[in-house]
Amino acid sequence: MFTRSKNNVLAIFGPTASGKTELLKRLFVDTGLNDRVEIVSADSIQVFRGLTIGSAKPDPEFLDELPHRLIDIMDPERDFSIGDFIRLADEACTACIEGGKLPVISGGTAYYIKGFIMGIPETPMVSPEIRIQVQHELKQHGIDVLREELKLHDPVSFSRIHYNDTYRLTRALEVFRATGKPLSSFTVPVNPRPQWNVHAFALNRPRDELLKRIEHRVDAMFHDGLIEEIKTLLAKGYSVTTPGLKGIGYAEFMEAVQQHGIECLNNTTILAQIKNEIILHTRQYAKRQMTFMRSLPDVVWIDPNYIVSIKKAINAALAPDILFEYTEAHDA
């Protein structure tokens, strides 16, 4: 019997294209358990409305079968921080439990997962004047000048922040200018947050298999209309500076349009270059995701092909509660 302990949270995560959505379907939809769990999405791009194909959002039919929270909750021109995620994920998990369901955190944004489990360093408030000044310098001088400043004063944060992630870049500079201390020097929590009992499972696939899945996924995005989605976003006035469009799959298009003009979206040579860049950047990101996920405490690594073993592992984690009742003794 599953009694839904008041602070149990299941976390199922993995790198891009590892098969998280497929696994959720096999675990909770195919087994008829979709009325006993609810997904809390941990994806930094899927929070934005209109960013569907490039973020690989689950299709509407699947979302009807298995409800997800924290998808399509804001427009792309707004910033969305890890602090925002933790606050909203806490609210979502509480609502799930109060509704008699087991919350399942799932996604590929590793630092969201870590932040939810461990919490984040308490950094000081930054004055509006400093924020305005940093944003002014970003617009006036460009990202490379600010990156060089961060590299000089906080090389640890510099190494962690993706080239196009202007939000984290400017935040790190704001903290340094406000305190004289690098953002990376603030104490990172070493113990999990006490309000949740998180049972963490991470998908693990052979490297060659994951790389092939990434390439297939990008091909599918282009086939499913990614270029038209980009044109729609541009028609709404979004650009390379829009916070929601700094993720892989969007930033490459925005940068190409900034450099070559919107006509480049009809140029087969440039489109092929964009596709190759997305594949390369996604592969690099998946490697960083795996490294980051391996730093999380008490993670059970699972092969998504062995569904019975996964069910048994989840039941063992939730004991004495039982989520899965099954007849299979072993994986096929």
Which strands form 37-41's sheet, in the order they lie side by side? Answer: 68-69, 37-41, 102-107, 8-13, 197-203, 299-302
pLDDT at 3 over 60: no
Q: In angstroms, how far is CA 294 from the centroid of its own chain?
A: 16
In DSSP terms, which residues pair with 48 in a beta bridge?
A: 74
pLDDT at 148: 95
Between residues 10 and 122, which one has the greater pLDDT? 10
Whole-number Å distance between alpha carbons of 289 and 293: 6
- What mean pLDDT is predicted for residues 185-195? 87
In DSSP terms, which residues pair with 103 in a beta bridge?
A: 38
Query: One-letter amino acid identity for 69?
Result: R
pLDDT at 4: 54
pLDDT at 304: 95
Query: One-letter amino acid identity for 237?
Result: G
Q: How far is CA 108 from CA 53, 122, 201, 290, in A?
A: 16, 24, 12, 10
Contacts of 115 (CB under 8 A, 6+ apart): 82, 85, 86
The tens digit of pLDDT for each residue in 212-224 reads: 999 999 999 999 9
Q: How many residues in the chain?
A: 332
The tens digit of pLDDT for each residue in 39-55 reads: 999 999 999 999 999 99
CB 124 within 8 A of CB 187: no
pLDDT at 1: 40
Query: One-letter amino acid identity for 12?
Result: I
Per DSSP, helices labelled H in 25-165 are 60-65, 82-98, 110-118, 128-141, 143-153, 155-160
What predicted TM-score, i.e. pTM, was given to this entire model? Answer: 0.85
Whole-number Å distance between alpha carbons of 158 and 56: 28
Looking at the chain, the whole-number percentage of residues with pLDDT higher than 90 is 82
Residue 152 CB neighbour total at 10 angstroms: 10
pLDDT at 283: 96
CB 59 within 8 A of CB 29: no
pLDDT at 162: 79
Query: What 8-state DSSP symbol labels residue 186?
Result: S
pLDDT at 308 over 60: yes
Structural domains of the chain in order of their starting residue, each with its CATH number: 8-120+189-318 (3.40.50.300), 128-185 (1.10.20.140)
- What mean pLDDT is predicted for residues 312-328? 87
* Token digits of residue 182: 């690098």
Query: One-letter amino acid identity for 124?
Result: P
The tens digit of pLDDT for each residue in 117-171 reads: 999 888 778 888 998 999 999 989 999 999 999 999 999 999 988 787 888 899 9
The tens digit of pLDDT for each residue in 240-264 reads: 989 999 999 999 999 999 999 999 9
